[in-house]
Structure 1
Amino acid sequence: MLIIVPLTLDKGHTKSLRVNKFFTAMNVVVKAKLKFSTANHIFKLQTNGFLDIYHSQKCSDFISIRHGSFFYKSNLTPTKLLYMVYFWSKDHDQVMIIDELKISNRTCIDWCQFFREICSADLLRGSGVIGGPGHVVAIDESVIAKRGRGANAQARPIPQQWIFGGVDLITNQCFMRFVDRRDANTLLPIIRQYIAPGTEIWSDEWAAYRGITGMGNGYTHKTVCHKHLFKTPQGVHTNNIERLWSDCKRKFKRMNGTVRGFVPSYIDEWMWRRTRERDHYFSDIVQEIARQYPV
């Protein structure tokens, strides 16, 4: 679909370009006239599909239309960038993306990591606080990365990585935090940070949770003993948070594992997707890129 996007030049001169409907908010031009000029500028479409703006017809200095955008300094063509974002938004595996776009493994890894950083920044905009009076939040901790061997026989083993989180049983909102320890000094401050005062909290009988009612935030704490049952006669359970762990880990199983340093960004990506409709992934990530990289 072709649309008209105006480019405003100095002295109020405006020239319209016919461009594909592709990231127009980020000023990425796919098709335009090969070359045209004004009194102060010359516009030239490169073979890679990007438009360069020269200051004058006698000057070789130019400003790429990608300048300051998310795609600045990228060597990928607009078409490949479009497919890169689209394939990532559809959660295709990287092997498929590399094969379809004929790009290097390093390029694919870097771009996918860039998209996950966009997700992380978007999540940080929110307070992350869940629950409140009349709400129930189930909490739990789980191993997200198992203990591994060191690089060689002399290297120290890689410790297992724990994650702690909670889910609101009414709104389905959640929070997750990586933790090195599961003691009260570590978990209780996180509960205070992410769970609103007046919330009813459900958990198993892990010793670190015994101090919840004494935190002074109006919390009500109810537990279930998993040695005997998964749900109390009063209805207390942790099924929702355990299902959350299962859904989250399913992505890592499908990937056959990942580099330990990338795990936090994959968790952020998973949480970002979880709060959106699948059909809106593509439009949402494009809008978020445009918001974080205004041009």
Structure 2
Amino acid sequence: MSIEQLLILTWCWCYDLSIEAAAASANCSVKAAETQYSQCRRVCFAALDDREACPEAGLMGGDGHLIQIDECSIKARRKRAANGRGRLGPGDQQEPHRGNADEQAAVADDAAIAQEEAAHGNVENIAVDEAENAEDNDRAEGWVFGLCWWRSREEKANGIPNETRFFAVRDRTAATLLSLIQNHVAPGSQIWSDCWRSYARIAQLPEGYTHLTVNHSKDFTDPVSFVNTNAIEAAWSRLRHKIVRTKRGVGKELRFHLAELWWKSLQRVPVPSRNARNNKTKTHPMIYMNFLNLISRTYPV
């Protein structure tokens, strides 16, 4: 392929165009577009592993900063607690006459699923079908651990987005998850999570983390401390949508897809709005140049 075609495909990848649309824009085959998209993800993976080349990949949080953590099975239709809770925000209320609390949570969860499927073209159903129909070595499966650096409204207004990092993990044991937390979360940070037993020793780690939890079997948001995991849980739908849109080769390249999502979470800016509570973001207008600079820093001549 020509340099011009490679640059066009890179631009398309930066702005999340589908592989088919990228191939049409660059006047090349879908296979060639897939290859270039894969190379872009590998750049992210290499750069984020080198904090000199990518200083923005340093430790998350710090004194006075909040990190939300959670884990998710990417093959699951929807992450739920045992009784179906853990998905709704504090503003999602059910009418008390519609069954008991568990039944109300299930109804509300099903409604949320229907809304998300309508918005994303049955994303989660397709995700299961793709995994079940794929060859064994091409399945997107297993657990993913996520960390979200929550930003205040003032920080978001100044162009500082929530940063989200995802990591494929073999299991959800304390040894696995606590090691990732220590490697990516700065000492003194405040960490919010659910009550998964592997998180029980976070406050005892030498980094001096403050650890607060919400019991999803009782509340979506803790009524006293207001602790929740809404920000990181919201990231799971974006993760699934991304995995399903790509479809091809996700299982073999899952770690590179996760690196792409991490880097692109840093390339978001707030959407101007008169509503101070507006949390919408858009792709940074300089993302293409930022990525070319990332390439030059990661692979210096």
- With normalisation by structure 2, the TM-score equals 0.64
Aligned residue runs from structure 1 range 111-126, under 5 A: 111-126=36-51
The question of whether the paired residues in 1 share the 8 Å contact of 2:66 and 2:191 is answered with yes
From the CA coordinates, give the structure whose radius of gyration is larger.
1
> Helix, strand or coil for the counterpart of 1:142?
strand
Aligned-pair distance for 1:238?
0.5
- 1:68 aligns to what? none
> Helix, strand or coil for the counterpart of 1:260?
coil
> Helix, strand or coil for the counterpart of 1:291?
helix
Q: Among the aligned pairs, what percent are the same residue? A: 30
Whole-angstrom distance in 1 between the partners of 2:249 and 2:12:
19
Whole-angstrom distance in 1 between the partners of 2:213 and 2:177:
16
- 1:23 aligns to what? none
Out of 22, 30, 47, the residue aligned to residue 105 of structure 1 is: 30
- 1:142 aligns to what? 72
- 1:78 aligns to what? 3
- 1:103 corresponds to which letter in structure 2? C
2:282 is the counterpart of 1:291: no
Alpha-carbon spacing, 1:235–1:160, altered in 2? closer, same or farther (3 Å): same
- 2:28 corresponds to which letter in structure 1? I
CA deviations on 1:213-237 (whole Å, 9 max, x unpaired) are 2223212211111111111122100
- 1:169 aligns to what? 150
CA deviations on 1:21-77 (whole Å, 9 max, x unpaired) are xxxxxxxxxxxxxxxxxxxxxxxxxxxxxxxxxxxxxxxxxxxxxxxxxxxxxxx23
Q: Give the number of the structure whose residues are more often strand, by fraction.
A: 1
> Helix, strand or coil for the counterpart of 1:261?
coil
> Helix, strand or coil for the counterpart of 1:97?
helix
Whole-angstrom distance in 2 between the partners of 1:144 and 1:221:
26
- 1:56 aligns to what? none
Whole-angstrom distance in 1 between the partners of 2:263 and 2:300:
21
Q: Give the number of the structure whose residues are more often helix, by fraction.
A: 2
- With normalisation by structure 1, the TM-score equals 0.65
The question of whether the paired residues in 2 share the 8 Å contact of 1:164 and 1:177 is answered with yes
Out of 47, 61, 64, the residue aligned to residue 131 of structure 1 is: 61
Whole-angstrom distance in 1 between the partners of 2:150 and 2:208:
18
Alpha-carbon spacing, 1:231–1:81, altered in 2? closer, same or farther (3 Å): same
Whole-angstrom distance in 2 between the partners of 1:168 and 1:77:
39
Aligned residues: 218
Aligned-pair distance for 1:281?
1.9
2:245 is the counterpart of 1:254: yes
Structure 1 unpaired stretches of 5+? 1-75
> Helix, strand or coil for the counterpart of 2:212?
strand
- 1:191 aligns to what? 181
Aligned residue runs from structure 1 range 255-274, under 5 A: 255-256=246-247, 258-274=249-265
Q: How large is the RMSD of aligned CA atoms in angstroms? A: 2.7
2:251 is the counterpart of 1:227: no
Whole-angstrom distance in 2 between the partners of 1:287 and 1:128:
18
CA deviations on 1:77-116 (whole Å, 9 max, x unpaired) are 3332332222222221111222333322332221111111
> Helix, strand or coil for the counterpart of 2:74?
strand
Aligned-pair distance for 1:142?
0.7
